[in-house]
Amino acid sequence: MSAIETVSTAVRLIAYHNDPALKREVLSRVETHRAAGEIVPGPGFWDGNRGSLVGVSVHSRDAEDFEVATGIAKGGLAIAERIWSLALLRLWLHREAWEGFHPTDIESLRAFPGEWLEKIAPGCNTDGLTRRMTISVLTLVLDEAEAHPDLEGLGELLRTLIDGHEDSSAKAAASWREWRKSASALARAHREGTLQSALANLVATAAWPDTSSAGALPDVLEQYVNLCHYDARDEVAWTGTEEETKRGLDAQRERILLDPASRETTALRDFDDKLKNGYPVFAKRRTALEEARSLHTVRRLMRLRGIFLGLLSDAVNK
């Protein structure tokens, strides 16, 4: 019977239960699945062969099993699974190089399933990862909000929210509710689909107290990465007519992307060929927008990856 299967649920949360051999076992298991292409988006998936990060780590779909087996807080797992899920789509869409594609960044994302576990030293305390990650991401969002004069109220709210997450004492539920209401009101004050509205909605999502299971943090991470759409818009502008055409064609392409069966066919390639032949000017501009968006997506993912790995490296021994 393996070390993973004999861990008692009564053991305190100490990374790898202070056992280097257990760490090697978990990493070996993950690498075996990664080499076989058996790591899929999460969270919480295991079918006996393929799995999300929890599945390939401990052969279970349950975050509680991961926490018991590895001694690593399940909040850390939730962060890792969301970063990997966001990265995996970019890796699938861009298996071939394109202008601006940075191979070293992509290889770093490919290595992430084992890399985050490697950063954690046996015996470390991984409690509080979600709180520290939330503060770090909100600090990045604050920098973006302060670049827009019309978002002064959001900057003030962000600083209050960061203070709320930094305070180790429990905040009254009413405070979090008021912060969410204030952020939602700021979002409604700006036109839907604008950066200002997206930033305010992100803050509303983050206005929840920290929990051991990561709470709203995975959604905050996704909203932060999706801000790449606004990065790209600054570089590739569209006229009103082009925007309308783009929405219709993007909706068709999105339906193809969301169909799992299409990944095993040439449906996406056929659609893109149709665009190039039928809408050559539009297709060229759309390609430029997609490449800019993808580049900014990878940059934002790399930023989150760097913060997370840094927090794991800084975890202190019990």
143-177 pLDDT tens trace: 999 888 777 789 999 999 999 999 867 678 789 99
Statement: residue 78 has pLDDT above 80? yes
* Residue 272 to residue 253: CA distance in whole angstroms: 8
pLDDT 10s digits, 181-194: 999 999 999 888 88
Q: pLDDT confidence of 91, banded at 50, 70, 90? A: low
Statement: residue 42 has pLDDT above 60? yes
Radius of gyration in angstroms for the set of CA atoms belonging to the chain, rounded to a whole number = 21
pLDDT 10s digits, 212-258: 888 899 999 999 999 988 886 666 665 666 667 767 877 888 888 77
| First-to-final CA distance of the chain | 27
Residue 24, pLDDT score: 97
Could you tell me the two tokens for 124? 């470390």
Within 10 Å of residue 307's Cβ, how many Cβ atoms? 18
Statement: residue 9 has pLDDT above 50? no
Could you tell me the two tokens for 153? 């109220």
Q: What is the dihedral of CA 11, 15, 24, 56, to 10 degrees?
A: 80
* Residue 207 to residue 216: CA distance in whole angstroms: 8
Residue 5, pLDDT score: 44
Residue 150, pLDDT score: 77
Give the Å distances, CA to CA, from 4 to 43, 70, 112, 127, 222. 20, 7, 21, 20, 31
Q: What does the buried/exposed string (b/e) look like for 33-71 if buried means 16 or more CB atoms within 10 Å of the residue's CB?
A: bbeeeebbbbbbbbeeeebbbbbbbbbbbebebbbbbbb
Of the candidate ranges 41-50, 69-78, 273-282, the one whose mean pLDDT is the lowest: 273-282
Mean pLDDT calculated for residue range 96-104: 57
Question: What sign for the dihedral angle of Cα 137, 140, 146, 147?
Answer: negative
- Using an 8 Å Cβ cutoff, are 3 and 21 in contact? yes
* Residue 66 to residue 6: CA distance in whole angstroms: 13
Residue 4, pLDDT score: 47
